[in-house]
A and B are shown apart, each in its own frame.
Chain A
């Protein structure tokens, strides 16, 4: 018995580390590219490591980068479980940020302890709305969510441009000849508390707490159960009386909400104002997409997404440091980012194969798939439901 317990955690550890191995493989390919650019890969990757984890400041930066990844990733965990693809994270972050910022620049006479939670909740709601629209469109009008979220992303960017250079512009910019499209700066009292010499802000902690809450939501509440059921088998769920439509909408609303929270968190924890350069990723840092990757790294499990976000965040932060030290064009960093994503995603197959083998060894009929309806609420459920 103790034997099988030991057997249980070690393979799972390997499974969990597979994304790491895949990342290393991707970095090896990256090393070839570095050599072609006449850069010493060892020097480059050492810089990457230093930039991600090599000092207190680096670690703080990594955590700051990881926070939106985690939040978006949590939303993705929810939506993917509901078999809904949400690639609208970028737009949802923007809208959440806009609404949260509005709170901060309007309620200037209110105390910080009131404004911050109101702003965060408003951002959450903003993202929920922006995710909800594609949700409703899918559920009631059969508009595919890929189409609608892509469109909503573009609309959100233009909305941001319009608002930030018009109604929401910093009043002090309005007189200047070359106006910067940015809002006024948030009052000091409205900022998320920071761990002072670094940029690490309270949002990171909030995100971790939320991760736990999401886990509880998905595995300990009816809503969560139904979302997963609808995702696994919509027909069966419909037979069981679950209003499938509603839960599709709910999945998108929730995942949009978390993305919106990620957006407003960036404003209140990092930038202290909203500013645009005309693109989505200028504000979001592509967290809307990278959050999806982080969720995948974490096995689409809210708790797993925590270390995954930290590692992936470290990769992104470290890569930028690498760019500075060895002076490679940032284009290389983008390509490297892509390689890591492809490799990690590809490594899933090994994880599933290994799990299948283990389950086949354990279950009676040797098939290894446990039907829907069983709710075990521990990480082993991850193995069953990953056959998406």
Chain B
């Protein structure tokens, strides 16, 4: 039975599934990376995702226009990001806790809106799978990578874009400076507040898209608490990836691949108790991190609020 795992169908299945599963984690974690690089911890990602998921679903069902749905999800996420930014930057609230507050708010509000505006569970015709010409015909690789829906492609494309912004642009420099040493950045004329506003809102926007990628692309349905804690995992993955976009990609892939592996294990009837199988991605993530003991430090100002004149 374990040998079943090594068959081509299964391996391809695991990889394709892993790529798909990784998508929402990627959007949310990349967004969170920007925020954390600038020194802000946002634990409310899950709530932003749920608001994004609902908004996208609702707009898509009512207008039939999926891209409008994505746009609305971005707006919803951005609004929540705006609120988080205000609370964090202007009111200097304790970030970990305010994040949890936003999480609860997003969780409750999305549920409430769903009950009042839609009322029943239904499906939507979401983003279809796209076969990229030529590439999708490559045996094995084609099936895994090049037959996914457009949001999957965008998520992966975000990684090099994020890397580029953070490491090769002035904006990125400013973001990193604000995260490492806000006082110094401030004295150099960088507006810490503005940078943080930018990254937090960007993070919210991307979280919104992460939610939308679930409700109108991957699963094509909305249900209360459909993210089921995914946002928290995404935040954790930022730490795993050492605040680097490529590292975050690695973390998202590792987590998702192990997740899809455990699904296959169950499907193939390999006798591991279901609960133990479900634990695998979490345990493995920790083990990998332990094994790759690194000297990477967090952005020094992470979770510390900044006040001018301190």
The answer to whether A and B touch in the complex, with CB atoms under 8 Å apart, is yes
Q: Is the CB of A158 closer than 8 A to any CB of chain B?
A: yes
Contact with B along A339-362 (1 / 0, CB 8 A): 111110110110010000000000
Contact residues in A for B275 (Cβ distance below 8 Å) = 158-159, 161-162, 165
Contact residues in B for A340 (Cβ distance below 8 Å) = 101
Contact residues in A for B67 (Cβ distance below 8 Å) = none
Contact residues in B for A348 (Cβ distance below 8 Å) = 91-94
Contact B104 A349 (CB under 8 A): no
- Segment 108-143 of B: residues with Cβ below 8 Å from A: 108-109, 111-112, 115-116
Q: Is the CB of B285 closer than 8 A to any CB of chain A?
A: yes
Contact residues in A for B237 (Cβ distance below 8 Å) = 147
Contact A147 B289 (CB under 8 A): yes
Q: How far is the CA of A289 from the CA of B83 in the complex (A)?
A: 21
Contact with A along B180-207 (1 / 0, CB 8 A): 0000000000000000000000000000
Interface size on B, residues (CB 8 A): 53
Contact B276 A158 (CB under 8 A): yes
Contact A137 B101 (CB under 8 A): no
Most buried by A among B100, B109, B294: B100
- Segment 276-297 of A: residues with Cβ below 8 Å from B: 289, 292-293, 296
Contact B108 A388 (CB under 8 A): no
Q: How far is the CA of A336 from the CA of B285 in the complex (A)?
A: 34
Contact B104 A334 (CB under 8 A): yes
Contact A331 B111 (CB under 8 A): yes
The A-B contact count (CB < 8 A) is: 149
Contact with A along B223-262 (1 / 0, CB 8 A): 0100001001101110110000000000000000000000
Closest 5 CB pairs of A and B: A335-B108, A338-B105, A338-B104, A341-B101, A334-B108
Listed in ascending order, the chain B residues whose CB lies under 8 Å from chain A are 41, 43, 47, 83, 87, 91-94, 96-98, 100-109, 111-112, 115-116, 224, 229, 232-233, 235-237, 239-240, 273, 275-276, 278-279, 282-283, 285-286, 289-290, 293-296, 298, 303-304
**Extra inter-chain contacts (13) besides given A85-B303, A142-B295, CB under 8 Å:** A87-B96, A141-B290, A151-B236, A159-B275, A162-B275, A331-B108, A331-B111, A337-B108, A338-B106, A341-B97, A345-B93, A352-B92, A388-B94
**A-B CB contact pairs (8 Å), 20 listed:** A33-B112, A137-B290, A141-B290, A142-B295, A142-B296, A143-B290, A146-B236, A146-B239, A158-B279, A292-B97, A293-B101, A329-B112, A334-B107, A334-B111, A335-B104, A338-B105, A341-B98, A345-B101, A346-B98, A348-B94
